[in-house]
Structure 1
Amino acid sequence: MSYRIKLLLLIPHLGGGGAERVTAQLAIHLDPSRFAIHLATISEDRPGAPQLPSHVTLHRLSCERVRSAWQPILSLIHRLKPDVVFSGMAHLSFLILALRPLLPRHTRILVRQNTTASAAATTRRHRLAYRTLYPLADTIFCQSQAMADDLIQHFSISPHKLSVCPNPIDIGSIRSAIRQARRSVTQSAFPRVLCIARLSHEKGIDLLLQAFASVLRVHPSAFLTVLGNGPLLADLQNLACYLNVHHAVSFPGFQSDLAHHYAQSTLFVLPSRYEGMPNALLEAAAAEIPIVATPASQGLIDLLHSQPGVWLTQSTTPKSIAETLLAAIAELQSSPGLNTPHFDHTFLAPFEVSRSIAAYAACFEQALPQVQQ
């Protein structure tokens, strides 16, 4: 192809959560001979912001909030005249789609759905945005077929607009880093439980703390590390004190270098009330850690069901999480590598970065058939 597609990637900020990492992976790994890549951020970078390659043009809009960025976004699109605009998070996607009548006519808008829409749309206004704005997108990327089916069933989105593309996970880099980290990790208390999540209601950390109180009664040396920031930090710390587990729980905040935490952890737990396809779990799987997870989405259930080294809870309750954690720990106790049991987690194959990026690239190109030469 002699024509390079001009692609504008939009994200609230670099660094932070899974949606930001997905967009950064696209900017880093898309082929610059096929795409002229521009990346626009709304607000200041967060911890863990990656170094972008020189072929990516970065535009900092320097706004405090997404909703106040509509004028800078509109000006940038009219100045750049991109072929494709890609938004990686729902609230930013709503804004771009609302601006569509004001954009150049040739502009294609592709958006990524980053959670199960019917679970996330808890208000009438939010549900209305899905019903009225999402049909204006040229393509909606979903991380699983179950997520796509949810949009069809609950919001009447045309199946022709939906494309299932797994999150890009750099499995090789994660495994290389953890192999290096394991060389310096000493044997520690068993079990060590790791959770990585935004400290917000949907992530279910309160459920995990209640479950962990039961785990401590059976395994007094157990320790829980919860990595991440969020609005519920003080509430969760108070809950840990109320449950008398504060001595065995740590909240170190957001950590950009996870290899050491992976290397010393017995297992990873995802206690979410609802999810899409969480990057934290996928990256923990890339680190070959045993996994305990709630049935937080149908896509997650489909991915993890009956997989070696994975235990799914029966329900999203403290009792079920505790029972599943104890069952997993009991099984891992019989493992020869007590503190560092490893699982290949072959279900990750479709998420491998080169395969996932190729799927995204194909969709970007298909959005503009007239330029494929």
Structure 2
Amino acid sequence: MADGAVTRRPVICFLTGTLNALAGAERVTASIASALAARGYRIHVLSLWDEASAFPLHPAVTHRALFPVRPSFKRQYAATVWRIRRFMLTHDIDVLVEVDPMLTLFTLPALFGSRVRRVAWEHCHFDEDLGKPARRVARRLAARTAAAVVVLTDADRLRWRAAIRHPFQIAVIANPLPFDLPPRMEAPMQAKRVLAVGRLVEAKGFDILLEAWALVVREAPDWRLEIVGEGPARPALEALAAQYGVSKTVSMPGERTDIASAYRQAGVFCLSSRYEGFGLVLLEAMAFGLPVVASACEAGPKALLVEGGNAVMVPPEDGPALARALLRVIGDPDLRWQLAKGGRLTAAAHTVDRLVDQEWEALLRGVVTGNGGAAPSE
């Protein structure tokens, strides 16, 4: 770290796989990086591949990529490590925020002997490795070597503490609403459309939602289901919709860059995930005034949702229970209004300004001065 770093705003770099993906971690990275740049920080985003971004960045944010397209990191491991080191030293980076603890496997050797302080930012929950056993190793390396680990929920903080006995600094910073809170509820209460948003992958539980939907349309045949997103499970989900006989009441339009329009046109939001690191789509839906029906999965939804206050919750992987909850909300306008008002309050507590001003800047100051990045309770 350059001399005088404790008396000036640190130079920050966010290291990520790519920003050119319509996903929660990428969207939040762009949002936090832009908010810090707007506050006068020198901000870099370094993608491992692809200089394009699916989300807007503040004009002061510098975005670069190590490779134009995704390489084989087994073959390009040494080159990746070297390029990360060269970038950090060339741009006088003070704090490197790793958008996934898996990146520790690159940054630990890349920054050996340097003064760059590392922050590992976890977007999943501790007990989910997303099919990569190396992630479990990377998390433990991050805890032992990073200046701070950032997790999204207090439940996940406790899980990290229980699993890793080595002393380390950990902060809880929830994901922010990635856009300004709409000045009023914009979702039409009378719209007969249930909206779900996410990648078409097993984790999102859209197969469970289709099972539930087959029961819902028996009693609410004039309602429609829209699942926004793209992914490898599309053929299986389309086949399942046909098997259940609900293809005519289900649309899967793929990814939408105008996601706000989808929220504005729906009457109910449904999250059917088997697990979630946070569940950013819940905040987005609540910001627009959508009543929420959700599975009470690990870990984010449990932290965000209050039964009867801002959502109706059901056990994960329970299609019939999800159907009953959807029918309950569909059939009760007063409940929809109650949930919508509660959701708006939740979204208002997660604005970018509040979380950057009160959480991220405190974290960065602590990392730079060597006081750690722990949350106040730590």
TM tier, smaller: 0.7 to 0.9
Match of 2:365 in 1: 365
Match of 2:211 in 1: 210
Whether 1:169 and 2:177 are equivalent positions in the alignment is yes
Deviations, residues 203-227 of structure 1 (Å, cap 9, x unaligned): 1111111111111111112211111
Distance in 2 separating the partners of 1:224 and 1:119: 29
Q: TM-score, with normalisation over the residues of structure 2?
A: 0.85
Please list, as runs of the form range in 1=range in 2, the aligned pairs for 1:1-373 lying within 5 A after superposition.
3-15=8-20, 16-31=22-37, 34-44=40-50, 48-50=54-56, 52-61=57-66, 62-65=68-71, 67=73, 68=76, 69-97=80-108, 99-100=109-110, 102-120=111-129, 124-156=133-165, 158=167, 160-170=168-178, 173-176=180-183, 179=186, 190=192, 192-332=193-333, 342-345=340-343, 346-358=345-357, 359-369=359-369
C-alpha deviation, 1:64, in angstroms:
0.6
C-alpha deviation, 1:81, in angstroms:
3.0
Verify the 8 A CA contact 1:47 1:256 in the aligned structure 2: no
Q: TM-score, with normalisation over the residues of structure 1?
A: 0.86
The secondary structure found in structure 2 opposite 1:312 is strand
C-alpha deviation, 1:155, in angstroms:
3.9
C-alpha deviation, 1:240, in angstroms:
1.2
Match of 2:375 in 1: none
> In the superposition, relative to structure 1, how do residues 224 and 95 fare at CA in structure 2: closer, same or farther (>3 Å)?
farther
Distance in 1 separating the partners of 2:271 and 2:369: 41
What amino acid sits opposite 1:324 in the alignment? A
The secondary structure found in structure 2 opposite 1:140 is strand
Structure 1 unaligned residues grouped into runs of 5+: none
Structure 2 unaligned residues grouped into runs of 5+: 1-5, 372-378
> In the superposition, relative to structure 1, how do residues 325 and 35 fare at CA in structure 2: closer, same or farther (>3 Å)?
same
Distance in 2 separating the partners of 1:136 and 1:2: 24
C-alpha deviation, 1:75, in angstroms:
2.3
Identical counterparts, % of pairs: 26
What amino acid sits opposite 1:60 in the alignment? A
Verify the 8 A CA contact 1:292 1:310 in the aligned structure 2: yes
Distance in 2 separating the partners of 1:251 and 1:175: 26
C-alpha RMSD of matched pairs (Å): 2.8
Say which is worse superposed, 33-42 or 341-350, in terms of deviation. 341-350
C-alpha deviation, 1:34, in angstroms:
4.9
The secondary structure found in structure 2 opposite 1:120 is coil
Verify the 8 A CA contact 2:295 2:314 in the aligned structure 1: yes
Verify the 8 A CA contact 1:224 1:250 in the aligned structure 2: yes
C-alpha deviation, 1:305, in angstroms:
2.1
The secondary structure found in structure 1 opposite 2:258 is coil
Verify the 8 A CA contact 1:66 1:92 in the aligned structure 2: no
- Paired residues, number: 357
Verify the 8 A CA contact 1:3 1:34 in the aligned structure 2: no
The secondary structure found in structure 2 opposite 1:351 is coil
Deviations, residues 66-110 of structure 1 (Å, cap 9, x unaligned): 83443432321232231100121243344324x35x444211110
